[in-house]
Amino acid sequence: MKGFVKYGDQPHAGIIQHVGQPEPGAHEVLVKVAGCGICGSDLHAYRADAGYEWVRIPVILGHEFTGTVVAAGPAVERYRPGDRVVVIGIQGCLDCDRCRGGRTNLCKARKVIGLDLDGGMAEYAAVNEAYLVTVPDALDLTFAALTEPLSVAVHAMDRVRIRPGQKVVVTGPGPIGMMCAVLTKAAGAEVVLAGTGADELVRLPVARELGLTTMNVESRHFSTVLQEDPHDIWVEASGSTAALQASMEFMPKGSEIVVVAMYSSEFGWFPTTSVRAEHTYYFSFASSFEDYQYALGLLASGKIQLESLASYYPLDRAHEAFEAAEKGFVVKPVLVPEG
């Protein structure tokens, strides 16, 4: 089969290769991949960014994928050929206290499919049945590749209680930021999604297509906006330390700050500012089974419309899709195996 393989630890060491089709183990199923999204972590691994030295080499990238079960190991109980599934990207041990409590994303022994284990940027993938969620019949299977990033947004926004009429600012118009903003608006809040001038090329226009109010922080700074119109909640999804620091400096007293981004550098923080303001911070990492189920339900119901986020590329054009993602030409590229 074909797979997009990270083969070395140097930047951009990825290639479409013919590799052996996996054989499912006793508790595994073989999934014929319908679509696999390119995530920020895939980009970090592909570029060999600092902090991603642990990624297994060689490895087939991709953890945001869906497909159809075509074969099942002898001990598989819940899935049979023909079942439509989405794969849970972060896989816990399922035996520790965190896993038994449903917090598999915080398992000390967690593995990430597509980074620790071969993933979904291929024609087929072998996955333990414990890390699958059934895709509703009403939902397009390829489009369901957006389930994983939506589950991350669901998990983040579950940190706070959004009430109708609240004012929320979301920084970072990438897939997670846009999805957080869409969820927040659906809950009845007034939302503004903030980006930079570079985001005016693609991301902010797409956000406006989703019905979101946008702001270019290079035209209007946070301090001006928040002084004129105080907000209740700030969701930081950009990965910019400047944005995180601004949330701490400019949010009004008693406000809440949700941090869902990952950062590549440290920064200085004077905590007394937040102590005196009684800021409440929530940090959110990845998602778990229940978040996937909720995200799938939202996508299948049509209550939120995210179709404009996805751009589809044949698996053979993986390099082009990665380049488009790096340059910000697309919001969420999805690789689609042919046949």
State the pLDDT at residue 220: 76
State the pLDDT at residue 223: 74
How does pLDDT run across 216-269, given as a tens digit for each residue? 988 877 777 777 778 999 999 999 999 999 999 889 999 999 999 988 888 888
Q: Are 322 and 201 within one domain?
A: no
Rg (CA), the chain: 20
How does pLDDT run across 177-231, given as a tens digit for each residue? 999 999 999 999 999 999 999 999 999 999 999 999 999 988 877 777 777 778 9
Q: Are 188 and 202 within one domain?
A: yes
Q: Are 38 and 146 within one domain?
A: yes
Q: Are 220 and 305 within one domain?
A: no
Q: Are 205 and 316 within one domain?
A: no
Q: Based on the number of CB atoms within 10 Å of its own CB, is 71 exposed (0-12), middle (13-18) or buried (19 or more)?
A: middle
Last residue of a domain, one of 239, 266, 283: 283
Q: Are 277 and 292 within one domain?
A: no
Q: Which amino acid is at 285?
A: F
SS3 (DSSP) at 199: helix
Q: How many residues does the chain have?
A: 339
Confidence label for 278 from pLDDT (cuts 50, 70 and 90): very high
* Helix %, strand %, coil % of the chain (to 5): 30, 25, 45
Region 92-108 average pLDDT: 95
State the pLDDT at residue 79: 98
Return the CATH number at 247. Answer: 3.40.50.720
Q: Are 105 and 175 within one domain?
A: no
State the pLDDT at residue 219: 84
Looking at the structure of the chain, the number of domains it has is: 2
State the pLDDT at residue 51: 86
Q: Which residues does 303 contact at the CB level (< 8 Å), separation at least 6?
A: 186
Last residue of a domain, one of 246, 263, 283: 283
Q: Are 145 and 8 within one domain?
A: yes
State the pLDDT at residue 170: 97
Q: Please report, rounded to a whole number, the percentage of residues in the chain having pLDDT higher than 70.
A: 100
> Residue 100 pLDDT > 80, yes or no?
yes
Q: Which CA distances in Å does 266 have to 86, 242, 244, 248?
A: 35, 10, 11, 15
Q: Which residues does 243 contact at the CB level (< 8 Å), separation at least 6?
A: 171, 172, 194, 217, 236
Last residue of a domain, one of 243, 265, 283: 283
Return the CATH number at 22. Answer: 3.90.180.10
State the pLDDT at residue 267: 85
CB 85 within 8 A of CB 76: no
Q: Which residues does 258 contact at the CB level (< 8 Å), separation at least 6?
A: 156, 157, 159, 160, 180, 233, 234, 235, 236, 282, 284
pTM: 0.95
State the pLDDT at residue 230: 81
Confidence label for 108 from pLDDT (cuts 50, 70 and 90): very high
Q: Are 231 and 119 within one domain?
A: no
Domain containing 215: what range?
160-283
> Residue 147 pLDDT > 90, yes or no?
yes
State the pLDDT at residue 125: 98
State the pLDDT at residue 274: 94
SS3 (DSSP) at 80: coil
Q: Are 328 and 191 within one domain?
A: no
Q: Please report, rounded to a whole number, the percentage of residues in the chain having pLDDT higher than 90.
A: 89
- Token digits of residue 159: 């940190």
State the pLDDT at residue 339: 60
Give the separation between CA 287 and CA 331, rounded to whole angstroms.
Answer: 20
Catalytic residues: 41, 44
Q: Are 252 and 219 within one domain?
A: yes
Angle among Cα 297, 299, 300 to the nearest 5 degrees reads 65
Confidence label for 130 from pLDDT (cuts 50, 70 and 90): very high
The neighbouring-strand residues paired with 168 are: 191, 233
Region 20-27 average pLDDT: 97
Q: Are 70 and 180 within one domain?
A: no
Q: What is the mean pLDDT of the chain?
A: 94
How many other CB atoms are there within 10 angstroms of residue 106's CB atom? 17
